[in-house]
Amino acid sequence: MVLGRFYLRRLERFARLSNRLDSAVLPDRRRLAGHATLAAYRDCVALGLQREAREVLARVSGQRVLSV
């Protein structure tokens, strides 16, 4: 699904940005990136891509995927 790939890539882009920003130097931008990440995650869930979205977030943050 093309739309699903678009939303998963969007999620990955925002999550990388959120993890990359230094919270001490750019707290407002990190907060905004966090909100964008959450919005992108919710879009993925709305499309039925919760598992894939969790995998993207885990990969970006370097953590294991926890099943729900």
| 32: in domain | yes
| 67: in domain | no
Maximum alpha-carbon separation in the chain: 39
Can you give the residue range of the structural domain that contains 38? 2-61
Say how many domains are in the chain: 1
| 66: in domain | no
- Find tokens 């905004």 and name the residue: 32
Mean pLDDT of 7-23: 89
| 57: in domain | yes
Quick one: pLDDT at residue 5?
96
| 55: in domain | yes
| 34: in domain | yes
What's the Cα-to-Cα distance from 17 to each of 7, 12, 34, 48, 66, rounded to whole Å? 15, 9, 9, 24, 22
Higher pLDDT, 16 or 63: 16
pLDDT tens-place string over residues 17-67: 988 877 667 888 888 999 999 999 999 999 999 999 999 999 998 876 655
| 23: in domain | yes
